[in-house]
Amino acid sequence: MYKKTLAIGLFALLSLGASAQTSLRHGAWRAALLRNDGNKIIFNLDIQQQKGKTVFYIVNEPEKMLADEVTIVKDSVFINMPVFESAFRLKIISKDSLSGTWIRKTTSKDIVMPFTATTQEAYRFPAVHGDATESVAGKWKIDFTRSNNSEREAIGQFVQNGNQVTGSILTPSGDYRYLSGIVTGDSLQISTFDGIHAMVFTGKINKGNITNGNLYSGPVSKEVWTAKKDDQAALSTEQVTRLKDGEDGHLNFSFPDIDGKQVSIQDKRFKNKVVIIQLMGSWCPNCMDETAFLSEYYDKNNKKGVEVIGLAYEYTTDFKRSAASVRKFQKRFKVKYPLLITPATVSDSLHTEKTLPQLTAIKVFPTTLILDKSGKVTEITTDFYGPGTGDYYTRYKAAFEKKINALLEK
């Protein structure tokens, strides 16, 4: 259905004809998604010309995510995000102004948010209170409170240069990737947009404490938060998923890859190899970062006796839709290891039993399984933190390589 909708939209654009195409100013833009409560989620764009074609970069410093699937016909612009089922349908108001909607597919109803962008304000957030009088640099213990009053923990890790702030927030189930923004006076504003995450965080800093914090996410979600500077802050290390009691650690599965070819863990290519199994979804930003890491790792280590398998848990059981979405991951990160489409959706309460019944419930994506040369699960981890987390990512990569090397030497 999604591909059909996109095809209809593209046909409508193309039917307008390629003549009289309106050009857009190249360079820095300020973009905003409008929430139902009137608040805005701000991020930046960099529009450029490459090989005779207009491309968009989604900017969350220091990351610049290239979106090069762009169709412009007359005053209409269609941008398909490079990963995720996420797109923009826009109208060119002038060479310095865009307006339209951001559309994100989900398990059921689409998320649709009004969108505007302009070159007239190329900053992310204005320094309305002047220079920073407080600093958010360092590590913070964060407590979020949801609208139902339930609480959750997190860690903030930030760098501040003058007014400008970059960093990330880590939770027990992943991280919010690249956050960037400003401290002006004692006020903090940081945000991110990557095609799934659409967030802005605000708060007041006072000598190692952050109060009056609000997290606005997507069109309606809102949480309040507080934080205390704490260099020793740490998240819970409780194992989320494990082997069921009585299981010997061997798995048995067979699923189709994105081309429909059946791939089994029992296949010859995986025998006497160290095998990494990535439980992922093409809707998952942290899975995107892990896929980028594993693809590079696989290319460097496959000949040493390492194999990787990705098992995708998607929004629907529509194989064509799921395969098309996962293929975007494969193309974007030049993945050479098999990406398999499981028959269970991420929202299916029985997705573990239907795919890997040897495990307790899979609750976090990505989850990573490491199998030794005998095919036995030696470790199940949910502690992947991506490149936006700085030292956490560096330490993760070093520990991961140490584990795999130890298994290769046995």
How many residues are recorded in the chain? 410
Predicted local confidence at residue 21, as pLDDT: 54
Q: What angle do CA 389, 308, 87 make, to 5 degrees?
A: 55
Helix-then-strand count for the chain, H and E: 5, 25
Name the one residue in this structure whose structure tokens are 């890859």: 257
Judged by average pLDDT, the poorest of 5-9, 206-210, 264-268, 355-359 is: 5-9
Predicted local confidence at residue 17, as pLDDT: 38
Q: Looking at per-residue confidence, does 13 or 103 come out higher? A: 103
Fill in the DSSP letter of residue 334.
T
273 and 200 both lie in a single domain: no
How many CB atoms are closer than 10 A to CB 169? 26
Nearest one of 287, 349, 335, 342 to 313, comparing CA atoms: 342
400 and 273 both lie in a single domain: yes
Nearest one of 397, 389, 391 to 168, comparing CA atoms: 389
Distance CA 239, CA 269 (A): 30
Predicted local confidence at residue 148, as pLDDT: 96
- Cα end-to-end span (Å), the chain: 49
Phi, psi of 285 (to 5 degrees): -60, -40
143 and 68 both lie in a single domain: no
154 and 300 both lie in a single domain: no
78 and 193 both lie in a single domain: no
Q: Which helix (H) or strand (E) holds 101?
A: strand 97-104
360 and 261 both lie in a single domain: yes
Structural domain includes residue 126? no
216 and 295 both lie in a single domain: no
Structural domain includes residue 112? yes
Q: How many domains does the chain have?
A: 3
The neighbouring-strand residues paired with 82 are none
Nearest one of 37, 59, 180 to 113, comparing CA atoms: 37
Contacts of 140 (CB under 8 A, 6+ apart): 155, 156, 157, 158, 210, 227, 228, 229, 230, 233
CATH code of the domain containing 91:
2.40.128
pLDDT reading at 177 higher than 50:
yes
Q: What angle do CA 312, 256, 339 make, to 5 degrees?
A: 40
Q: Which two tokens stand for residue 347?
A: 């929202």
Phi, psi of 249 (to 5 degrees): 95, 0
CATH code of the domain containing 147:
2.40.128.120
Distance CA 277, CA 107 (A): 24
Distance CA 328, CA 224 (A): 35
Q: Domain range holding 261?
A: 254-409
Q: Is the pTM of this model over 0.85?
A: yes
Strand pairing category for 164-171 and 174-175: antiparallel
Predicted local confidence at residue 237, as pLDDT: 77
Structural domain includes residue 386? yes
14 and 104 both lie in a single domain: yes
Distance CA 97, CA 92 (A): 6
pLDDT in tens, 104-147: 999 989 999 999 999 998 899 999 999 999 999 999 999 999 99
Structural domain includes residue 247? no
Q: Are 86 and 104 in contact (CB under 8 A)?
A: yes
Q: Which two tokens stand for residue 108?
A: 């059921």
Nearest one of 375, 353, 367 to 248, comparing CA atoms: 375
185 and 293 both lie in a single domain: no
Integer angstrom CA distances of residue 302 from 295, 305, 310: 10, 6, 15
Q: Are 111 and 93 in contact (CB under 8 A)?
A: no
Distance CA 41, CA 283 (A): 20
pLDDT in tens, 340-393: 999 999 999 999 999 999 999 999 999 999 999 999 999 999 999 999 999 999
Nearest one of 8, 107, 84 to 331, comparing CA atoms: 84
Predicted local confidence at residue 146, as pLDDT: 96
Contacts of 107 (CB under 8 A, 6+ apart): 315, 316, 345, 346, 347
pLDDT reading at 8 higher than 90:
no
Structural domain includes residue 146? yes
66 and 212 both lie in a single domain: no
Across the range 300-310, mean pLDDT stands at 97
Distance CA 149, CA 241 (A): 26
pLDDT in tens, 200-248: 999 999 999 999 999 999 999 999 999 999 999 999 878 899 999 999 9
- What does pLDDT average to over the chain? 94
Structural domain includes residue 379? yes
How many CB atoms are closer than 10 A to CB 250? 14
Q: What angle do CA 112, 116, 118 make, to 5 degrees?
A: 160
